[in-house]
């Protein structure tokens, strides 16, 4: 596995997003080196960090993610036959198959995310030909930062470009659906759609409020004024196909069924309090309270009420730790230590069971917060974490 950490004095590991022009040039060169011809198109799609609204997307709720500057780059060239070849710079391997072989649950591992997009776009009626692809990424894998959606969406926009399609909002919406099908049907991860939506619709300088009932996206300008969004990857790896994610989803569906509502978006807190199954009640409590916190977090960021952001992040983290039960000791430590060392707000982010925390840190405290977390991890005997600065960035682009 190739890594791209920059090391600060005193050995704090910071993952650098890199310069998009350099990374695009480097993926073109790697493609030409590997396949003997230059690519016809390069797609770029970002990872994301979610500021509020965890596991609410598949409950028809609200989420508030930010697209990162850290992105995946996919170089593509159409072939004259039915062959599909996909090479990953990270994995150092090539997957090879034919268009006819692509379909639900037919491809194991990382290649399924990329090949799944080819299948889903063809299912949607696009005449995607046999193709050579090479992907390279600056999004840490298994860190809860949507490396899989970044991979899917970078391939989707590169393929759209090969087909001569313009990246209009309508096409972006279509590609979101194709990427969700790649993940849920081809790979078999029962995820909810937040990651693909922000990877395609994120805007520089903003978070994206997504409503999974109306399917509206609203850009929320983030004027952080002297604060940094600091992400800490605990390097406890998480896989959304492991069962924990799916069982949370099943508990939410069972809660909605008991309450006689189509989704937990329509449940009230008072009704949830009456649920008799303790576990199902706690799961539903998290969802209903978390959806309200998304609305409150938008207001708190807009008004730069850092104390409110802090209280909301804290309540969200506790809810995920105690009611939804998706945190772990490493995440709890990263969050507690960030706040002790000067962050105004911190919570775990993403699907959980490992992955990353996100903190809002006054610029002058960023170094101290990273070092305090590293020291606490060393003391606890945890793996050394890595950090990154989440710079709110634009969604997927092509560089044809």
Catalytic center residues? 195
**Which range in 51-59, 108-116, 168-176, 263-271 contacts ligand GLA by CB under 6 A?**
51-59
End-to-end CA distance of the chain: 28
Q: In sequence order, which residues have a C-beta less than 8 Å from that of residue 323 and are 6 or more positions away?
A: 282, 283, 285, 286
Count the alpha carbons within 13 Å of 259 in the hemisphere toward its beta carbon.
27
Question: Angle 57-59-65 (CA atoms, 0-180°, nearest 5)?
Answer: 20
Beta bridge partners, 74, equal: 43, 135
Q: List binders of ligand GLA among 244-303 (CB under 6 A).
A: none
**Which range in 20-28, 48-56, 101-109, 159-167 contacts ligand GLA by CB under 6 A?**
48-56
Sole binder of ligand GLA in the list 20, 192, 310, 354 (CB under 6 A): 192
Q: List binders of ligand GLA among 326-355 (CB under 6 A).
A: 350-351
Q: Which is nearer to ligand GLA, 143 or 398 (CB)?
A: 143
Cα distances (Å, whole numbers) of residue 197 to 13, 146, 152, 178? 29, 11, 11, 11
- Of all helices (H) and strands (E), which one includes residue 289? helix 278-302
Q: Which is nearer to ligand GLA, 177 or 305 (CB)?
A: 177
Selection from 97, 130, 121 nearest residue 111 by Cα = 97
Give the shortest CB-294-to-ligand GLA separation in angstroms. Answer: 11
- Tell me: does residue 191 bind ligand GLA (CB under 6 A): yes
Residue pointed to by tokens 């080819």: 118
Q: Which is nearer to ligand GLA, 310 or 352 (CB)?
A: 352
**Which range in 116-124, 190-198, 275-283, 310-318 contacts ligand GLA by CB under 6 A?**
190-198
Give the shortest CB-148-to-ligand GLA separation in angstroms. Answer: 7
Give the shortest CB-143-to-ligand GLA separation in angstroms. Answer: 11
Q: Which is nearer to ligand GLA, 27 or 231 (CB)?
A: 231
Give the shortest CB-56-to-ligand GLA separation in angstroms. Answer: 7
Q: Which is nearer to ligand GLA, 137 or 146 (CB)?
A: 146
Q: List binders of ligand GLA among 129-188 (CB under 6 A).
A: 146
Q: List binders of ligand GLA among 214-243 (CB under 6 A).
A: 240
Measured CA to CA, the distance from residue 206 to residue 208 in angstroms comes to 6
Q: In sequence order, which residues have a C-beta less than 8 Å from that of residue 313 and are 6 or more positions away?
A: 52, 345, 346, 347, 360
Give the shortest CB-26-to-ligand GLA separation in angstroms. Answer: 27
Measured CA to CA, the distance from residue 264 to residue 295 in angstroms comes to 16
Q: How many residues bind ligand GLA (CB under 6 A)?
A: 14
Give the shortest CB-11-to-ligand GLA separation in angstroms. Answer: 30
Cα distances (Å, whole numbers) of residue 217 to 36, 131, 201, 368? 41, 32, 8, 35
Sole binder of ligand GLA in the list 161, 195, 251, 399 (CB under 6 A): 195
3-state secondary structure 74-87: EEEEECCCCEEEEE
**Which range in 5-13, 128-136, 192-200, 367-375 contacts ligand GLA by CB under 6 A?**
192-200
Q: Which is nearer to ligand GLA, 172 or 238 (CB)?
A: 238
Selection from 352, 351, 347, 354 nearest residue 382 by Cα = 354
Give the shortest CB-333-to-ligand GLA separation in angstroms. Answer: 21
Q: Are strands 83-88 and 93-98 parallel, antiparallel or unpaired?
A: antiparallel
Contact 115, 95 (CB under 8 A): yes
Q: List binders of ligand GLA among 52-91 (CB under 6 A).
A: 54-55, 57-58
Binding site for ligand GLA (CB under 6 A): 50, 54-55, 57-58, 146, 191-195, 240, 350-351
């Amino acid at each position: 596995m190739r890594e791209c950490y920059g090391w600060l004095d005193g050995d704090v590991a910071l993952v650098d997003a890199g310069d998009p022009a350099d990374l695009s040039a480097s993926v073109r060169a790697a493609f030409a080196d590997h396949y003997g011809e230059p690519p016809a198109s390069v797609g770029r799609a970002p990872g994301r960090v979610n500021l509020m609204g965890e596991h609410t997307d598949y409950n028809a709720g609200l989420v508030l993610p930010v697209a990162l500057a850290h992105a995946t780059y996919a170089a593509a060239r159409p072939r004259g036959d039915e062959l599909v070849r996909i090479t990953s710079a990270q994995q150092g391997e090539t997957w090879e198959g034919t268009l006819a072989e692509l379909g639900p649950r037919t491809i194991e591992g990382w290649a399924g995310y990329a090949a799944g997009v080819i299948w889903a776009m063809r299912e949607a009626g696009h005449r995607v030909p046999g193709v050579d692809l090479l992907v390279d990424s600056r999004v840490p894998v298994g860190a809860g930062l949507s490396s899989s959606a970044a991979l899917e969406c970078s391939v989707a926009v590169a393929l759209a470009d090969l087909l001569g399609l313009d990246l209009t909002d309508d096409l972006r919406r279509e590609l979101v659906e194709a990427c969700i099908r790649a993940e849920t049907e081809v790979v078999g991860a029962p995820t909810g759609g937040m990651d693909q939506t922000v990877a395609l619709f994120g805007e520089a300088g903003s978070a994206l409020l997504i409503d999974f009932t109306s399917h509206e996206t609203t850009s929320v300008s983030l004027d952080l004024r002297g604060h940094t969004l600091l992400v800490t990857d605990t390097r406890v790896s998480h896989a959304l196909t492991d069962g924990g994610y799916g069982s949370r989803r099943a508990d939410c569906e069972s809660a909605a069924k008991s309450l006689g509502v189509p989704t937990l978006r329509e449940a009230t807190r008072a009704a949830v309090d009456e649920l008799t199954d303790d576990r199902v009640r706690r799961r539903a409590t998290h969802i209903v309270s978390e959806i309200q916190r998304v609305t409150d977090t938008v207001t708190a960021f807009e008004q730069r009420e850092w104390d409110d952001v802090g209280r909301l992040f804290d309540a969200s983290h506790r809810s995920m730790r105690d009611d939804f039960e998706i945190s772990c000791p490493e995440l709890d430590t990263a969050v507690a230590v960030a706040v002790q060392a000067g962050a105004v707000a911190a919570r775990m982010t993403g699907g959980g069971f490992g992955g990353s925390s996100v903190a809002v840190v006054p610029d002058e405290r960023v170094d101290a917060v990273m070092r305090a977390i590293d020291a606490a991890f060393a003391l606890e005997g945890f793996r050394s974490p890595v950090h990154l600065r989440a710079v709110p960035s634009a969604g997927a682009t092509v560089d044809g």
